[in-house]
Chain A
Amino acid sequence: MNLIETTGSHHGLERDDEARRGAKAMTSWQNNRGARDARIAAGAGLAHGKVVQARDATRLLEAVIRPGDRVCLEGDNQKQADLLSRALLAVDLSRVNDLHMVQSGVVLPEHLDLFDRGVAKKLDYAYSGPQSARIARMLFGGKIELGAVHTYLELFARYFIDLTPHVALIAAVSADRDGNLYTGPNTEDTPTVVEATAFKDGVVIAQVNEIVEQVPRVDIPADRVHFIVKSDKPFFVEPLFTRDPAAITEGQILTAMLAIKGIYAHYGVQRLNHGIGFSTAAIELLLPTFAERLGLKGRIATHFALNPHPALIPAIESGWVRQIHSFGSEVGMDDYIRARSDVYFTGPDGSLRSNRAFCQTAGLYACDMFIGSTLQIDLAGNSSTVTTSRIAGFGGAPNMGADARGRRHPSEPWLKAGAEADPDSPAALRRGRKLVVQIGETFGDKNVPLFVERLDAIELAEKLKLELAPVMIYGDDVTHIVTEEGVANLLLCRTAQEREQAIRGVAGYTDVGRRRDRAMVAQLRERGVIRRPEDLGINPLDADRSLLAARSIKDLVRWSGGLYAPPSKFRNW
């Protein structure tokens, strides 16, 4: 017996018995393969070759899935196997129940309806943005038995160790009759999910938008795919990474200017990842203007692990960006990416090839900086996007926003940050440091303060009796905090008290900010731990929207030469 099947689940044992019944000739070391074959045989009656009609999708799932199975229902922060999630929701509960869902994203209402109905019981996941309020209510109400909330990379890793799916329900753009899949620009998690499932005796079922003679490129080879369901509608994709420049405020522009001059330029950061907030969109839109005037072109922001952010188009068109590898794609960017293959990773068919697992790894190991925003930061620099009524999950930010202890290759920013943190160690034995920057305005939406004495995540963990509070980025990984009041360099803090005052010193008029030790903050400023706009030669009155390379979605379309086709909800023409 292998490790997975000895975890003590009675469901697992039942499946082994069933496998023995279904394949008498098999030795006891190939039970799982037998069970997999039996599942496929049970579904085969509904299929012509591998193709199953959409109306038979639920029957297929009833035939293939067993009670208590670990099921990966593909869905992340962007693409969704929506037809299969509806089909799963409709199963006969006497045949399919108590599933253990192991999936990146809990995003569609159906994902949670599964638990309400009793189709599923246990959940291990990474991201739940749009369902953050409902998932919190269901966790409080005991409707969901929570395994853990993960980062993407962490959940992917567990697919190969102790959360290997019995059945994977995935989404692709097209399939040929043999079952070769084209996942298109939104390849995302699919190769990882299929790898873990297909090579460990699991069953892979794909929903596809169309069945074609020949797929444009093979993203998933046919021998890893067991059933194909043709969907009437293309699978849903959320335009998660589109930020309308029209909504960028003067405060965000000021904060972006501080980051560019105080961090990007200071360390010479070339390899990096950006979060999805408006502050980082402002940075992207200031590269061809403000940063160009500072003479930084070619010296910063050249290589990205990043989704195809529309806001980066002006910088790309201005020759700032050499290369971008992406977790997923972005709605409306397909033609632009295709035409800019020097910058993006594309397949022989010309379209983007994204891959979340590789890109997360790239962000962790090959980037010198992560910069992103958050909802709460405490006095130690711990940050969280959890509030008492919302659990948004982690997604990828903690992988980006963590110092990779296994990193061994040097780079200028990494070494410089390491030296700032630990000036006394001999250089040859001193670890570098990844720059992990939290950027934001001191007050967020509805005047909610960014800085708090105690994270809501702690209260939530107590209420749910979790062993770990859901901290997005741990304070000891954070190197800088940037607000409109200034830049705090935590690498230069030598004591916990200095660290706290450095944070208070950029916390503006929040309660945390107003309770600063003014003398100590002044001293930190003299040491350059805190740098105000005037220390960086920036006049807040210059933070004007005219600095943005694009001030509207329409401007982005113009920059792209008409190649960017934004989704309708972002248009005003």
Chain B
Amino acid sequence: MEDLNFQHQVRARASGTRRSAVVGVVASGNLEVLVERALPDAQCVVDIRTAAMGFGEIWSAVIGDFVERYSPGGLKFSINDGGARPDTVSLRLAQAVRLIAEDGQ
């Protein structure tokens, strides 16, 4: 397993009021993303534990594009990865943002 951590300063706070949400499942080629509204508005943190070693550069690119596109301010993402492909990672991150953007608990 490999642990990765990315921290970004972002333009704006993510919308919605939900405190946390989880999408995806840890399985071969899949991942789970736990997202929590736990940070100052201008910050975004992504913690990753991945079964696929040596893909740090790709993660960095995927997370960079994601943060640029969605401006997920105030959100902390925790990822358990079963070796998902980058497009699956992007999709799950987008799904997590959509889910936490809902109102409610």
Binding site for B on A (CB under 8 A): 249-251, 254, 441-443, 447, 484-485, 508-509, 514, 540-541, 543
| C-alpha spacing A61/B55, complex, angstroms | 57
Residue of A nearest to B98 (CB): A541
B12 within 8 A of A: no
CB neighbours (8 Å) of B83 from chain A are 447
Q: Do B87 and A443 touch (CB < 8 A)?
A: yes
- Size class of B's contact patch? 10 to 19
B46 within 8 A of A: no
B58 within 8 A of A: yes
Residue of A nearest to B86 (CB): A509
Instruction: Decide: A441 near B98, CB < 8 A? Known: A509-B58, A509-B61, A514-B61.
Output: no
Residue of B nearest to A484 (CB): B87
CB neighbours (8 Å) of B62 from chain A are 509
Q: Could you name 29 residue pairs across A and B whose Cβ atoms are closer than 8 Å?
A: A249-B88, A250-B91, A251-B85, A251-B87, A251-B88, A251-B91, A254-B91, A441-B85, A442-B85, A443-B85, A443-B86, A443-B87, A447-B52, A447-B55, A447-B85, A484-B87, A485-B87, A508-B86, A508-B87, A509-B58, A509-B87, A514-B57, A514-B58, A514-B61, A540-B90, A540-B94, A541-B91, A541-B95, A541-B98
The dominant DSSP class at the B interface is helix
CB neighbours (8 Å) of A485 from chain B are 87
Q: Do B95 and A441 touch (CB < 8 A)?
A: no
| C-alpha spacing A442/B90, complex, angstroms | 13
| C-alpha spacing A484/B90, complex, angstroms | 11
Interface centre among A249, A250, A508, A509 (most CB of B within 10 A): A509
Sorted from nearest, which 6 A-B pairs have the closest CB atoms? Answer: A509-B86, A443-B85, A484-B87, A509-B58, A251-B87, A509-B61
CB neighbours (8 Å) of A251 from chain B are 85, 87-88, 91
| C-alpha spacing A197/B91, complex, angstroms | 55
What are the interface flags for B74-98 relative to A under an 8 Å C-beta threshold, 1 for contact and 0 otherwise?
0000000001011110110011001
Min distance, Cβ A507 to any Cβ of chain B, angstroms: 11
What are the interface flags for B11-42 relative to A under an 8 Å C-beta threshold, 1 for contact and 0 otherwise?
00000000000000000000000000000000
Interface centre among B52, B88, B98 (most CB of A within 10 A): B88
Min distance, Cβ A246 to any Cβ of chain B, angstroms: 14
CB neighbours (8 Å) of B87 from chain A are 251, 441-443, 484-485, 508-509
Interface centre among B57, B58, B87 (most CB of A within 10 A): B87
CB neighbours (8 Å) of A442 from chain B are 85-87
CB neighbours (8 Å) of B85 from chain A are 251, 441-443, 447
Q: Do B86 and A541 touch (CB < 8 A)?
A: no
Min distance, Cβ B72 to any Cβ of chain A, angstroms: 15
Min distance, Cβ A570 to any Cβ of chain B, angstroms: 21
CB neighbours (8 Å) of B86 from chain A are 442-443, 508-509
Interface centre among B52, B85, B95 (most CB of A within 10 A): B85
Min distance, Cβ B102 to any Cβ of chain A, angstroms: 13
| C-alpha spacing A447/B95, complex, angstroms | 21
Min distance, Cβ B20 to any Cβ of chain A, angstroms: 19
CB neighbours (8 Å) of B61 from chain A are 509, 514
Min distance, Cβ B2 to any Cβ of chain A, angstroms: 14
Min distance, Cβ A305 to any Cβ of chain B, angstroms: 31
Min distance, Cβ A405 to any Cβ of chain B, angstroms: 37
CB neighbours (8 Å) of B58 from chain A are 509, 514
Min distance, Cβ A34 to any Cβ of chain B, angstroms: 63
| C-alpha spacing A346/B52, complex, angstroms | 51
Residue of B nearest to A251 (CB): B87
| C-alpha spacing A485/B87, complex, angstroms | 8
| C-alpha spacing A543/B94, complex, angstroms | 12
Min distance, Cβ A32 to any Cβ of chain B, angstroms: 57
CB neighbours (8 Å) of A484 from chain B are 87
CB neighbours (8 Å) of B90 from chain A are 540
| C-alpha spacing A441/B83, complex, angstroms | 15
Q: Do B52 and A540 touch (CB < 8 A)?
A: no
CB neighbours (8 Å) of A514 from chain B are 57-58, 61
CB neighbours (8 Å) of B91 from chain A are 250-251, 254, 540-541, 543
| C-alpha spacing A442/B61, complex, angstroms | 15
Residue of B nearest to A448 (CB): B85
| C-alpha spacing A543/B68, complex, angstroms | 22
| C-alpha spacing A250/B91, complex, angstroms | 9
Residue of B nearest to A483 (CB): B87
What are the interface flags for B47-61 relative to A under an 8 Å C-beta threshold, 1 for contact and 0 otherwise?
000001001011001
Residue of B nearest to A539 (CB): B94
Residue of A nearest to B59 (CB): A509
Min distance, Cβ A2 to any Cβ of chain B, angstroms: 56
Min distance, Cβ A300 to any Cβ of chain B, angstroms: 26
Residue of B nearest to A444 (CB): B85
CB neighbours (8 Å) of B52 from chain A are 447
Contact for B94 among A447, A508, A509, A541, CB less than 8 A: A541
| C-alpha spacing A443/B87, complex, angstroms | 8
| C-alpha spacing A485/B62, complex, angstroms | 12
Residue of A nearest to B28 (CB): A446
CB neighbours (8 Å) of A250 from chain B are 88, 91
Interface centre among B52, B90, B94 (most CB of A within 10 A): B90
CB neighbours (8 Å) of B88 from chain A are 249-251
| C-alpha spacing A555/B79, complex, angstroms | 34
CB neighbours (8 Å) of A543 from chain B are 91
Residue of A nearest to B88 (CB): A251
Min distance, Cβ B104 to any Cβ of chain A, angstroms: 19
Q: A442-B87, A443-B87, A543-B91 are in contact. List 12 more A-B contacts (CB 8 A).
A: A249-B88, A254-B91, A441-B85, A442-B85, A443-B85, A484-B87, A509-B62, A514-B58, A540-B90, A540-B91, A541-B91, A541-B98
| C-alpha spacing A17/B102, complex, angstroms | 87
CB neighbours (8 Å) of A443 from chain B are 85-87
CB neighbours (8 Å) of A508 from chain B are 86-87
| C-alpha spacing A158/B60, complex, angstroms | 53
Residue of B nearest to A447 (CB): B85
Min distance, Cβ B55 to any Cβ of chain A, angstroms: 8
| C-alpha spacing A174/B61, complex, angstroms | 60
Min distance, Cβ B48 to any Cβ of chain A, angstroms: 15
CB neighbours (8 Å) of A254 from chain B are 91
